[in-house]
Amino acid sequence: MNKIKEKRKGNKICKVLTIIWSSLIFLSWIPFNMCMILHGPDLNSVEYYSDSANYVSFDVSVQSFFIEENYIGIKFDHSQKEFYDFFKIDGKHFDLAMENGVPELLQKDAVFTITSASAYLGDGWAYPVVALTYGEKVIIPYEAGRQNNIEVQRAAENQAKKYIMIWGIIFGTLAVFDVCSIIGIFLQRKKDLQTKTGGD
């Protein structure tokens, strides 16, 4: 009898620990969603950047910049109230920029004309430069730049959807497991009480 009780007790402890573990993972769905919202790609960015009405061209002056692999981050000074000061050149834009000598042109207070859209969409919290001109030199032509930005956003959206689907399956499975475990413990407890009552 003692062995049976110890076995049941051990099973209950394992089930409770399993529920706690899976519940913690399930609850991580909340911070995961928050991270996707705050730092991940937006799922409507392709639609937004496909609309030419969302773009505006204006003059800027270089304040600072940095170059990483396939990415140029630039801080511009400008007079556009709907924009902040950080912009990016990435994707095929990066190759065009490097081929046209942008690193040499990005000097302090150098003046460029850029085309961008004012919504913060996508990862990185930077506005995409979809067209770039230095004096009479066209470095990134608008239509090619716009199409490239749409490609970049589409790839980011597809990746985000894939992650959401995978994690949705994982969290959904854990939720079902939690419910089944709770029901199992409840039924086992009910059975134990009935056995105990019958034994008395």
Q: What would the pLDDT profile of 90-104 be if each residue is shown by its tens digit?
A: 888 898 899 989 989
**Are 6 and 28 members of one domain?**
yes
Highest mean pLDDT: which range of 29-33, 73-77, 80-84, 191-195: 73-77
- The answer as to whether 144 is a domain residue is yes
Q: 58-61 long-range contacts, Cβ below 8 Å, gap at least 24?
A: 58/113, 58/114, 59/111, 59/112, 59/113, 60/87, 60/111, 60/112, 60/113, 60/114, 61/109, 61/110, 61/111, 61/112
**Are 70 and 144 members of one domain?**
yes
**Are 26 and 85 members of one domain?**
no
- The answer as to whether 44 is a domain residue is no
pLDDT band per the 50, 70, 90 thresholds, residue 8? low
What's the mean per-residue pLDDT of the chain?
78
**Are 148 and 164 members of one domain?**
no
Q: What is the span of the domain harbouring residue 30?
A: 2-39+159-199
92-to-6, 16, 45, 175 alpha-carbon distances in Å: 66, 53, 18, 42
- The answer as to whether 46 is a domain residue is no
Q: What would the pLDDT profile of 18-37 be if each residue is shown by its tens digit?
A: 666 666 665 665 665 555 55
Lowest mean per-residue pLDDT among 129-143, 144-158, 170-184: 170-184
**Are 141 and 170 members of one domain?**
no
CATH number of the domain that 104 lies in? 2.40.50.140
